[in-house]
Structure 1
Amino acid sequence: MVIFLASVIMYLLLVWSGGSIPLNEVVIAIALGGIITYACRSWSPGLYRMTALRPDRWFKLLAFIFGPFLWGMTKANFDVAYRVITGKINPGIVRVQTSLKNAYAMTMLANSITLTPGTLTVDVDQESGTYYIHWINIKNVEPSGKDVYGSFEDWAKKVVEE
C-alpha cells in the first residue's frame, strides 16, 4: 500500500502545474501506481515493517553515526593521510567473520566499512557472515573484526537486530 500511494502521489506531483489535475492524469497515476506496486512485490517484505519506524532505532542510528562512526572515520582519515605521506602501506584483502544474521545489519556493517577511509568491503558471504575487506595496512593476516572495523558490528546489532 505504501508503494502504491507513494507512486500515485509522486506522479500527480510531477504532472501538477499549479492548477487542477485532469481526470485522465489521475487515471494514469492509479494505473502506474498499480503497475509499480505489482513490479515491486518481490522486494523484501521486511522493508516496510513497522519495527523500522520505531524511534529508538532511529536514535540508536543517530548515536552510531555521530559517535563511533564519526570517530572511526576521523581516525581513519588521519591514518590514511599519514600512510600517503610516508608511503608506509601494506595493502591486501583480509577475511573477517561476523556474527550478524540479519541482511540489513550486514549491509549496515558493509557500508560502514566502505565509508571509512582505508577499508573497502569487497564481498560478503551472507550465509556464513564472512566479509572480504580490502585494508590499506594489514597488520595481521587473520585479523579480528575489532582490528578492522572496531565496534561497528556491535552497533549494527544494536540498531538493526535488537
Structure 2
Amino acid sequence: MVVVFVISVAAYLLLAWSGGGLDPGEIGIACFVGFWISLVAKRRMKDKHFTLSGINPLRWGYFLCYLVGPFFVGLVKANLDVAKRVITGHIRPGIVKVTPALRSDAGLTLLANSITLTPGTLTVDVDEEDRSLYIHCLYLAEETPSPEDLYGSFETWARRIAE
C-alpha cells in the first residue's frame, strides 16, 4: 500500500501547491491524509494482489501505440458515423450482450472504457459472473452483431496491454 500512500501524498501536494513553495504544514497534512487513504485502501482491497506489471515500459508503449493508432482511427470513424446518423436520422438503437475473452479486470475495464469513449456506443453494464459487457449501440445492423462489428480490434489491444 506504499504506492497508494505515495500517489495520495503527491496528488494532495499537487492540489495544494499554488506555484510558490510548499508550507511544512501542508506536507504534514498530505502525509496524514495519505496514511489514512492507504489504510482504507488496504482494508477494502484485502483480496486484491497488486503487481509491478503496470510499470512495464513495453505495456506503456503498446498503450501509446493503441491510443494514436487503432483507438484514434476508431474514434474518428465513430464520430463521422454518428454525425451522418444525426443528420439523416437513420438510427436503430439496441443493447447487445458481448462476452470478450479477457481474463484480467484491467483488460475488461480498458475495453469497456474504449467502447464508451467512442461515439455511438456505450458500455451500460458489466456482468461480473460471466464477465460480459452490455453495450448500447446507436445503430444495430443486425440482431446479434459480432464483437468485431461492435468494437473492432479493441479487444486484441486490451489483451496485449493489460494481460
Aligned residue type for 2:95: I
Secondary structure at the aligned position of 1:64 is classed as helix
**Is 1:18 matched up with 2:26?**
no
Counterparts of 1:5-154 in structure 2, within 5 Å, are 5-8=6-9, 14=16, 18=21, 21=24, 28-41=29-42, 42-43=44-45, 44-46=48-50, 49-154=51-156
Please give the alpha-carbon distance, in whole angstroms, between the structure 1 residues aligned to 2:135 and 2:22: 54
Secondary structure at the aligned position of 1:94 is classed as strand
Aligned residue type for 2:133: Y
Could you report, residue by residue, the CA deviation over 1:57-116 in whole angstroms, capped at 9, with x for unpaired residues? 000001111111111111111111111111111111111121112111000000000001
Please give the alpha-carbon distance, in whole angstroms, between the structure 1 residues aligned to 2:32 and 2:147: 49
Contact 1:96 1:143 in 2 (8 A): no
- Deviation, 1:10, is 5.3
Q: Measured at CA, do residues 18 and 73 of structure 1 come closer, stay the same or move farther in structure 2, by a change above 3 Å?
A: closer
TM-score (norm 1): 0.84
Aligned residue type for 1:128: D
Could you report, residue by residue, the CA deviation over 1:12-70 in whole angstroms, capped at 9, with x for unpaired residues? 67389737626xx6655544332222111124442xx2110000000000111111111
Please give the alpha-carbon distance, in whole angstroms, between the structure 2 residues aligned to 1:11 and 1:85: 45
Give the RMSD, CA atoms, in angstroms. 2.3
Please give the alpha-carbon distance, in whole angstroms, between the structure 2 residues aligned to 1:97 and 1:26: 46
Please give the alpha-carbon distance, in whole angstroms, between the structure 2 residues aligned to 1:137 and 1:20: 55
Please give the alpha-carbon distance, in whole angstroms, between the structure 2 residues aligned to 1:144 and 1:50: 34
Q: Percent identity?
A: 46
Please give the alpha-carbon distance, in whole angstroms, between the structure 1 residues aligned to 2:152 and 2:22: 55
Aligned residue type for 1:76: A
TM-score (norm 2): 0.84
Please give the alpha-carbon distance, in whole angstroms, between the structure 1 residues aligned to 2:27 and 2:118: 46
Once the two structures are overlaid, the 10-residue window that deviates more, 71-80 or 8-17, is 8-17
Aligned residue type for 2:80: F
Number of aligned residue pairs: give it. 157
- Deviation, 1:140, is 1.4
Contact 1:89 1:136 in 2 (8 A): yes
